[in-house]
Structure 1
Amino acid sequence: MKRQPLDDSFKVNRNPVTLREIVLDKLRSAIISFQLLPGDRLVERDLCDRLGVSRTSVREALRHLESEGLVEFADAKGPRVAIITLEDARDIYELRCVLEGLIVQLFTLNAKAKDIRALEKALEENRKALEEGELQQVIDSVQGFYDVLLEGSGNQVAATQLRQLQARISYLRATSVSQENRRGASNQEMEKIVAAIKSGDPLAAHQACVDHVRAAAKVALDYLRAKHSDSSKIREIATPIALKEPRIGH
């Protein structure tokens, strides 16, 4: 991945009510958009100067990012941007296959007409973002697509589990869609998910979703393997079995 420059937009405009959230969002975005790379040391004094905030705000944000898996306090040298291993990435994609496959099935069964219209709009936003080529905009548009699916699925527990992984999912998503051979394919796969949902076929929607996640996983894992010169073999991602009727009580 190519390091992107930190520009003036990285500095925080002070607002006491939301300062902690702003600092957190700035740091998270800098990591996900490769302005801060895996293994980079996160020196509090430097971050305070760049962000224009106190050490307390930076320290709180770093601890929160540690809970999200984007920052690690590995040794006495202090925090650094977390390095996601091949095994970590595989496990995240594997869990995505299970949870997102279920979410898409439930959305197909439970979504109202307005939910499907919102999903089509989110798909179009993703297409526009891909054309414009801004990485953060692409990531945000994909997340917008999934937000519609999560909301319309009717299973808030599964949605919560996915949101707890959201930071690392976004980082891996950025890793995959930043590859030229992935961007167009990603939107086409999302189109297949929407088409299956509109046809009212939950099993086809599940399969389209799993195919989408597995395709993204291959690109991201191949990239991470090459970047770290890691020739070791890891267990393949398991393919979840779709339930013909995922709703309990029907």
Structure 2
Amino acid sequence: MPVIERHAAPLRQQVLLLLRDEILEGRRAPGERLRENDLCAAYGVSRTVIREVLRQLESESLISVIPGRGPIVAVLTKREIESLYEVRAALEGLAAALFARRASAADCARLIDHHAAMTAEYLHGTLASREESKSEFYRILLAGADNDVLSDELSGVHTRIGLFRRYAFLDDDRVAQSFEELTAIVQATAVDRDPVAARATSEHHIELAGRLAVLEYERRVTPEGGLVHLDEVAV
């Protein structure tokens, strides 16, 4: 049973973080039903807390509420995944271009240094270290881009992509290719300070990641290799 601290953060926030992590880490599979009674028992909290948490996760598009069935872990269609990556490519391309134009010398040094550290943490690391290393890369990039609206919009996209993003970190060949693409982004943004090249290299990276995301999600979500649709989810 997850450990809930009664005197730390509010119960709702603790349960929200735990359940969100379970979904994003794949411990709760796409299409899995989220029964209130089971969740109350698992976390040792009231229905009121669970309902508040489920409403928040629904607002983040991590769960869907199916009439007559209740909440389930969100299941995405191929088109939804493609759409997410189209938006992600546009936003991250903009972030890279803004970084190239606005970032300070210290921001550039941070990105270059972190990229160098990624050789161990990303190329030869664990699933967890790869995820954290990539997330830190984007935190530095967005800090240098200095656009809070852009950061907020990307945060929502990254949350939804978290439903299947981890699959990309399981394939060593894709991780190696991804590292080369990140190298090109660092060169364009922090070394050459070229906004046009920065946007192009970032968009290229996300376009390739999007193709893999569709293939991996299709292959892993169902044994047959096809995406589960909401109207096919078992009661």
Shorter-normalised TM range: 0.7 to 0.9
Counterpart check, 1:223 vs 2:184: no
Report the 3-state secondary structure (helix = DSSP H, G, I; strand = E; otherwise coil) of the residue aligned with 2:164: helix
Among 115, 132, 145, the alignment partner of 1:153 is 145
Counterpart check, 1:31 vs 2:23: yes
Query: What amino acid maps onto 1:160 in structure 2?
Result: D
Which residue of 2 is the match for residue 103 of structure 1? 95
Query: What amino acid maps onto 1:55 in structure 2?
Result: R
Counterpart check, 1:66 vs 2:54: no
Which residue of 1 is the match for residue 232 of structure 2? none
Tell me: CA distance 1:117–1:54, structure 2 relative to 1, closer, same or farther (3 Å). Answer: farther
Distance in 2 (alpha carbons) for counterparts of 1:160 and 1:104: 15
Counterpart check, 1:171 vs 2:152: no
CA contact (8 A) 1:71 1:80 kept: yes
Among 213, 219, 225, the alignment partner of 2:206 is 213
CA contact (8 A) 1:89 1:172 kept: no
Among 166, 174, 199, the alignment partner of 1:182 is 174
Which residue of 2 is the match for residue 235 of structure 1? none
Query: What amino acid maps onto 2:197 in structure 1?
Result: A
Distance in 2 (alpha carbons) for counterparts of 1:129 and 1:21: 30
Shift of 1:124: 4.6
Counterpart check, 1:200 vs 2:227: no
Return 5+ residue gaps in structure 2 as ranges: 228-235
TM-score by length of 2: 0.85
Distance in 2 (alpha carbons) for counterparts of 1:26 and 1:77: 23
Query: What amino acid maps onto 2:19 in structure 1?
Result: L
Which residue of 2 is the match for residue 115 of structure 1? 107
CA contact (8 A) 2:127 2:169 kept: no
Shift of 1:178: 2.8
Among 5, 22, 28, the alignment partner of 1:13 is 5
Distance in 2 (alpha carbons) for counterparts of 1:164 and 1:41: 23
Query: What amino acid maps onto 1:62 in structure 2?
Result: L
Distance in 2 (alpha carbons) for counterparts of 1:121 and 1:109: 19
Tell me: CA distance 1:159–1:101, structure 2 relative to 1, closer, same or farther (3 Å). Answer: same
Distance in 1 (alpha carbons) for counterparts of 2:141 and 2:105: 13
**With CA pairs under 8 Å and 6+ residues apart, which has the higher RCO, 1 or 2?**
2
CA contact (8 A) 2:100 2:194 kept: yes
Which residue of 2 is the match for residue 89 of structure 1? 81
Shift of 1:78: 1.3
Shift of 1:31: 0.9
- Number of equivalences: 222
Report the 3-state secondary structure (helix = DSSP H, G, I; strand = E; otherwise coil) of the residue aligned with 1:189: helix
Root-mean-square deviation (CA, aligned residues, Å) is 2.1
Identical amino acids, percent of aligned pairs? 33
Distance in 2 (alpha carbons) for counterparts of 1:125 and 1:68: 32
Return 5+ residue gaps in structure 1 as ranges: 1-7, 232-250
TM-score by length of 1: 0.80
Distance in 2 (alpha carbons) for counterparts of 1:153 and 1:146: 10
